[in-house]
A and B are shown apart, each in its own frame.
Chain A
Amino acid sequence: MKLNYFLLRLLAIAGLFGGASVQAQPSVRQPNATFPQVTNLQGQELPEVSVFTAEGKPFSTAKLRGRYTVLVFGCLT
């Protein structure tokens, strides 16, 4: 344990003064086969979930009935 703790301190020092580089991750469009948990939802009911409007008012997905509706997930990044 003592040896490991010494190693940990060395690791920490190395980390504090290290340079910069990271692994790149794919940024290309992912095929549908990557998301069977999504495509398998076809034919199912839209689950009822409480979310919010952009103005912060509560909104139930149960309201998304009565006409065809497109939902697209996204974020700032």
Chain B
Amino acid sequence: METVAVDYRSQEVEFYYIYKALAHPEHNGYVQPFTQEERLLHVAEAKRTLGSEIEWLCDNMKNELKQALGGAPNSQFVIDPKGKIVHASGWSDPVELRSFLANLVGEVTPATTVADLDLKQLPPPQLAGQGFAVRPQMPGQMRALLVKPLRSHEQYYVKLRAEVDSRFMQEGLGWMYIGFHLDPLLRVHWNNLAPPLKFRISTPEGITVALAEASARKIEVESDADPREFLLGIEWDSNVLPAASLPASSLVLEVEYYPCHEKGWCKFIKQSYTIKLQPDRNAGSVRGRGRAVGGQFRNR
């Protein structure tokens, strides 16, 4: 994409990357931001790691531009001077784009190659040690739930991801995944000299979770960056909570944890979330939990 931009800027074509919600959280440790400011940190991180020369725009936290343009994770568009969409592709493809632009404004020869560019790509942030916490085995296909952080004086250094398995949605008895992930862009790690993370969940009538409160297992190193994860049984009694009321129902989760920042401070933090029992279409899907696999910005 960078080479196409270099060639066609000279033909008066403008290029923008649109930064959107993460497609695959956990890749390289990145987690979904909660605020616009945090999403702008992601944009800065994308610029830093990709070494791109293309200008960035950042979607708002309602994900309105992504949804207005079809909701695909890696789509590409060409807009004409009157604001009409003249090319729309569900998956970004520089070869296809170059061909389209050649027909539109004329071919550029010789075409710039990646080797011609000096893209200064940098690695993702170095995290504290990993591989100490036992990661739960997923029972099957999981769906992310809508998680909303409640107002807090502290930044959400640790971010909650909640998912349920398809069996829960279909049969009312299944599994709920609760994962607390350090945000690598906020430069913190777990303080394992302090008590481990603990959480408490309160549920609406008709919803029961096993172990409504629990603590993470003690990790035997001073600090680490592994997520603290739990897999809980969850049951829904539709006689008490009708299906029509399920999406509006919320669980409330309180969490306590001790992070330390790379600048040296350590503190105690208590925060709360609501978890709605409805799928979050912008939460992305996790590939191979904990493994650094999958795509980044493809077809650059």
Q: A7 CA to B209 CA in the complex, in Å?
A: 11
Could you tell me which residues of chain B, from 14 to 38, have a CB within 8 Å of some CB in chain A? 14-28, 30, 36-37
**Contact between B83 and A77, CB atoms less than 8 A apart:** no
- Max chain A CB contacts within 10 Å: which of B137, B295, B296? B137
Per-residue interface assignment for chain A, residues 3 to 34, with 1 indicating a CB less than 8 Å from any chain B CB and 0 otherwise: 01101111110111111111111010111101
Nearest-Cβ distance from residue B260 to partner chain A, whole angstroms: 24
Taking the complex as formed, is B186 at the interface, i.e. its CB lies under 8 A from any CB of chain A? no
Taking the complex as formed, is B88 at the interface, i.e. its CB lies under 8 A from any CB of chain A? yes
**Contact between B14 and A73, CB atoms less than 8 A apart:** no
Of the candidates B45, B47, B75, B284, which one forms a contact with A73 in the assembled complex, judged by CB atoms under 8 Å apart? B75
**Contact between B72 and A15, CB atoms less than 8 A apart:** no
User: Quick one: given A7-B233, A8-B210, are A67 and B81 in contact (CB under 8 Å)?
Assistant: yes
**Contact between B87 and A42, CB atoms less than 8 A apart:** yes
Per-residue interface assignment for chain B, residues 262 to 300, with 1 indicating a CB less than 8 Å from any chain A CB and 0 otherwise: 000000000000000000000011111110011111110
Nearest-Cβ distance from residue A59 to partner chain B, whole angstroms: 6
A-B pairs with beta carbons under 8 A, tally: 289
Interface-located stretch among B59-67, B192-200, B248-256: B59-67
Q: A15 CA to B55 CA in the complex, in Å?
A: 44
Q: A18 CA to B105 CA in the complex, in Å?
A: 58
Taking the complex as formed, is B141 at the interface, i.e. its CB lies under 8 A from any CB of chain A? yes
A20 contacts across to B, CB distance below 8 A: 134-137, 289-290
A25 contacts across to B, CB distance below 8 A: 285, 287
**Contact between B293 and A29, CB atoms less than 8 A apart:** no
User: Quick one: given A5-B210, A37-B72, A73-B72, are A52 and B17 in contact (CB under 8 Å)?
Assistant: no
Q: Interface residue tally of chain A, by bracket?
A: 35 or more
B12 contacts across to A, CB distance below 8 A: 67-68
User: Quick one: given A37-B70, A71-B76, A72-B76, are A66 and B289 in contact (CB under 8 Å)?
Assistant: no
Nearest-Cβ distance from residue A52 to partner chain B, whole angstroms: 4
Q: A7 CA to B17 CA in the complex, in Å?
A: 49
User: Quick one: given A5-B208, A15-B231, are A75 and B19 in contact (CB under 8 Å)?
Assistant: yes
**Contact between A35 and B90, CB atoms less than 8 A apart:** yes
B14 contacts across to A, CB distance below 8 A: 64, 67-70
A69 contacts across to B, CB distance below 8 A: 13-16, 78-79
User: Quick one: given A32-B91, A74-B17, are A49 and B211 in contact (CB under 8 Å)?
Assistant: no
Nearest-Cβ distance from residue B221 to partner chain A, whole angstroms: 18
Nearest-Cβ distance from residue A22 to partner chain B, whole angstroms: 5
Instruction: Please give the residue numbers on chain A whose beta carbons come within 8 Å of chain B beta carbons, in ascending order.
Output: 1, 4-5, 7-12, 14-25, 27, 29-32, 34-47, 49-56, 59, 61-62, 64-77
Instruction: Please give the residue numbers on chain B whose beta carbons come within 8 Å of chain A beta carbons, in ascending order.
Output: 1, 4-5, 8, 12-28, 30, 36-37, 40, 42-47, 49, 54-60, 64-66, 68-93, 97, 101, 104-105, 134-138, 140-141, 173, 175, 208-211, 214, 217, 230-235, 237, 284-290, 293-299
8 additional A-B pairs beyond A8-B234, A25-B285, A35-B91, beta carbons within 8 Å, are A8-B209, A15-B232, A18-B231, A38-B88, A51-B18, A72-B16, A76-B27, A77-B296
